[in-house]
Chains A and B, each alone.
Chain A
Amino acid sequence: MTTRIDRRMAKLKAEGRPALVTYFMGGDPDYDTSLSIMKALPGAGSDIIELGMPFSDPMADGPAIQAAGLRALKGGQTLVKTLKMASEFRAGDNETPIVLMGYYNPIYIHGVDRFLSDALASGIDGLIVVDLPPEMDEELCIPALKAGINFIRLATPTTDDKRLPKVLQNTSGFVYYVSMTGITGSALADTGKVAAAVTRIKGHTDLPVCVGFGVKTAEQARVIGANADGVVVGTAIVNAVANVLGPKGEKTADPAEAVATLVSGLSQGVRAARLAAAE
């Protein structure tokens, strides 16, 4: 069974360039604005969309994504609305993969079976659930795979060669390599070490390896994209939204346009990645 993620990754591999994976927070700062951001992403150069599901207690996220989640919750975002956003997007774009990213509790409360059927109906292709390590695979990972939704696992610098097979075992779509030990939005790790880690993971799997945490600029996207199959950018996008919000949350410019400008630049970075590497 191939998913939109598999097809998109295969296409980019044929084109000889890495994927630009863009994370934004669903419902930040409100549903309509957030949907307009989502719709602007593919045109600006995003290859895969990570749709953030806000959670009150995002333990692996830095201040920027925490604040975005709180803005979204304050704006009335719920898991049901996040899924609705995906299906509204899907109505106009049946190609760009959508990966839901967040924490387990809202899914657990919605009900795993109900969530999976709602997610499929909304055109969701993959899931990244930060607080479900392989030890908890029975909770959601196995049911998701049975339902035909990719379960994308995080591998980290603390995932050694002995543990890596366990992490990769039920992973599909792609592997998300977390460039550092830390939270989202921290400074980018030593890119040499990241490249070595990507090579190490590729020794264990044929799945594409995307790298995230700390990538903020086109130049960083170019460097990381030289040997990764994809580059994930999140905090910088969330900040682009925050930067056009005034002290009371009022919009001082169009958030969708601000995000599109940033993503276009990042897209130039990933498109230059292999050219530079070939030099």
Chain B
Amino acid sequence: MNKPTIPNSFRTGPDEQGMFGIFGGRFVAETLMPLILDLERHWNEVKDDPDFKAELTDLSTHYAGRPSKLYFAEGLTRHLREVSAAKGLGGGAKVYFKREDLNHTGSHKINNCLGQILLAKRMGKKRIIAETGAGQHGVASATVAARFGFPCVVYMGATDVARQSPNVFRMKLLGAEVRPVTAGHGTLKDAMNEALRDWVTNVEDTYYLIGTAAGPHPYPELVRDFQSVIGTEARAQILEQEGRLPDTIIACVGGGSNAIGLFHPFLDDKEVRIIGIEAGGRGLDGIEHCASMSAGAPGVLHGNRTYLLQNADGQIMDGHSISAGLDYPGVGPEHSWLRDSGRVDYVPVLDDEALEAFQLTTRVEGIIPALESAHAIAHAVKIVPAMDKDQIVIVNLSGRGDKDVHTVANMLGMEI
């Protein structure tokens, strides 16, 4: 594939057609097209509206607990300096965690849900639908629906319903209806298909609250903008705490909303190296992974063109990851563009490596990270010992790992 020419800024996309280079777009059925145009109209009205911003900021502060802290992970830094010394390198960069795990509902997902529920309210919608994989976005959606008094239906693959039962119960407590999806293989992509089917049927009153920076335009843009609070805060915080920008920032990428949220405010800081971590599952040789940008090809699914796991006939494959939140065969279109333009490096981390980082972080930091975030930490563990002591790395700790303890126990052969 030809490399696109390097733009003056990496922060101006998408264009008016909703494209990031060849990625993105609006590949939806005609029934949904007028709705998507209507959403775009409302989004353009509110995105620079001071009243909308003030309401969102107020909720982010008092309801979600923002700003989230930028925490110097001293225990992990010390550990990795010991690793570096043992290798005779004598280095080890300072590691910071952006603590999205401390948000209300336990992950970055609330940032997007608060923004979109205010948009739904402005549009006069009466009913919320959402898709979820691990259940983090489902819980965040059910939470804001409860807070604003909307009925909420969450589509969740039947396989995920079985392996994420605590989150299913949370959603029910919050008043949402969880509809298990048995079509296909019963995971996130099937849940998204089913949510789109609901939306195409209930066009009059329903708002589709997409959980990641993917789908038809304007979703990738608006989800990114709601999540960019992560990077905007982190940038200001590191300047205040260290007096300079970081050398490297790292985030995990499933659909990629926490990553684009951290990355976007740093895209034009050329001295900052940006790394997105894909789920390498059991390795990229087979089909048991979710590394669409490392091992997939561009294609069209769920309203946008982006890198996808697919076969030679253009049929979408089911990926695998230890982390349900990364278990999606596609990725947000802006990531695909950032990959091809060379601004961001995307690399895979295996299940086992993530599991190890999960345990390490718990042990040396007293923080149980989400398995998704553990993928990003695992990459820091790989590269930090070879960096200098005066260098700085920020890892997005996108969520807390309480939801994952059953999965981890199972992987470690323990019963709880």
B316, A57: Cβ atoms under 8 Å? yes
The A-contacting residues of B in range 154-198, CB under 8 angstroms, are 183-184, 189-190, 193, 196-197
The size bracket of the interface on B is 35 or more
Q: Interface with A: B132-140, B298-306, B362-370, B384-392, which one? A: B298-306
Asked whether any CB of chain A lies closer than 8 Å to the CB of B56, the reply is no
Asked whether any CB of chain B lies closer than 8 Å to the CB of A32, the reply is no
A153, B30: Cβ atoms under 8 Å? yes
Q: Interface with B: A91-99, A103-111, A219-227, which one? A: A103-111
A93 CB, nearest partner CB in chain B, Å: 26
Asked whether any CB of chain B lies closer than 8 Å to the CB of A183, the reply is yes
**Beta-carbon contacts of A99-121 to B below 8 Å, as 1s and 0s?**
00001111111100000000000
CA of A275 to CA of B22 in the docked complex: distance in angstroms?
52
CA of A66 to CA of B314 in the docked complex: distance in angstroms?
16
Identify which of A56, A57, A62, A133 contacts B29 (C-beta below 8 A). Answer: A133
CA of A167 to CA of B204 in the docked complex: distance in angstroms?
20
Q: Interface with A: B31-39, B47-55, B72-80, B143-151, which one? A: B31-39
A60 with B300, Cβ < 8 A, contacts A107-B314, A135-B26 known: no
Return chain A residues, CB-CB under 8 Å to B45. none
A135, B33: Cβ atoms under 8 Å? yes
Return chain B residues, CB-CB under 8 Å to A261. none
Identify which of A108, A135, A153, A158 contacts B31 (C-beta below 8 A). Answer: A158
CA of A159 to CA of B28 in the docked complex: distance in angstroms?
13
Return chain A residues, CB-CB under 8 Å to B410. none
A130 with B193, Cβ < 8 A, contacts A56-B184, A78-B313, A159-B34 known: no
Asked whether any CB of chain B lies closer than 8 Å to the CB of A165, the reply is no
A57 with B193, Cβ < 8 A, contacts A108-B314, A109-B313, A182-B200 known: yes
Asked whether any CB of chain A lies closer than 8 Å to the CB of B203, the reply is yes
B299, A135: Cβ atoms under 8 Å? no
A105 with B34, Cβ < 8 A, contacts A131-B27, A131-B303, A133-B28 known: no
Asked whether any CB of chain B lies closer than 8 Å to the CB of A248, the reply is no
Return chain A residues, CB-CB under 8 Å to B281. none
A130 with B316, Cβ < 8 A, contacts A60-B200, A158-B35, A163-B34 known: no
**Beta-carbon contacts of B1-34 to A below 8 Å, as 1s and 0s?**
0000000000000000100000001111111111
The 5 listed contacts between A and B (C-beta, < 8 Å) are A73-B315, A104-B27, A133-B26, A158-B31, A186-B201
Chain B residues at the A interface, C-beta cutoff of 8 Å? 17, 25-35, 183-184, 189-190, 193, 196-197, 200-204, 297, 299-303, 305, 308, 310, 312-317
